[in-house]
Amino acid sequence: MLLDFCHFAQAFERKSLPFAAEAAEVPPPKRRRVTSGERLLRSVLELAGSRAELVSHAEVPWASVTFSGARHTVVLRFEGWEACDDAEHLIAALPEHEFAIPNVLVADAAVARMEQHLLPDPRIEMEIELLLLEDA
């Protein structure tokens, strides 16, 4: 006895392949918006170089009478001689660096803390504080 496959195929539920009508109703996945804090972190890591290791990143809302924004604290670790050279370049370049973040002004960027160890291997850990102001 031969069975007509087309007759039975409609009776089976196919979860892996949605029907054409169902596929048209499914909205496309929403893209997540990149925040100004994430853009800042990318810029700092790019400026620090590929040998920098991100230890932590914190963001705290900040406001004055005329401005609002956020204060960011980034802790980076550099291990090895070449990485420590990158850390020294970051320290020199950070105060005058122009960050290109849309609708945000980096009002202050400074190294708040730095620990340097030479033995057993050279290592620098630094804490960077940045003040972002919303550009209205």
Ordered domains of the chain (ranges, CATH): 36-134 (3.30.2000.30)
pLDDT digits (tens, 9 = 90+) for 78-127: 999 999 999 999 999 999 999 989 889 999 999 999 999 988 899 999 99
Q: Cα separation of 75 and 56, whole Å?
A: 5
Beta strands 104-117; 52-63: pairing state? unpaired
Q: Cα separation of 21 and 86, whole Å?
A: 56
Q: How many percent of the chain have pLDDT more than 90? A: 65
pLDDT, greater one: 101 or 19: 101
pLDDT digits (tens, 9 = 90+) for 30-55: 888 888 999 999 999 999 999 999 99
Q: Cα separation of 110 and 96, whole Å?
A: 10
pLDDT at 125: 96
pLDDT digits (tens, 9 = 90+) for 72-81: 999 999 999 9
Taking 60 as the threshold, does the pLDDT of residue 21 lie above it? no
Strand arrangement, sheet containing 52-63: 52-63, 68-79, 123-134, 104-117
pLDDT at 61: 95
pLDDT at 30: 80
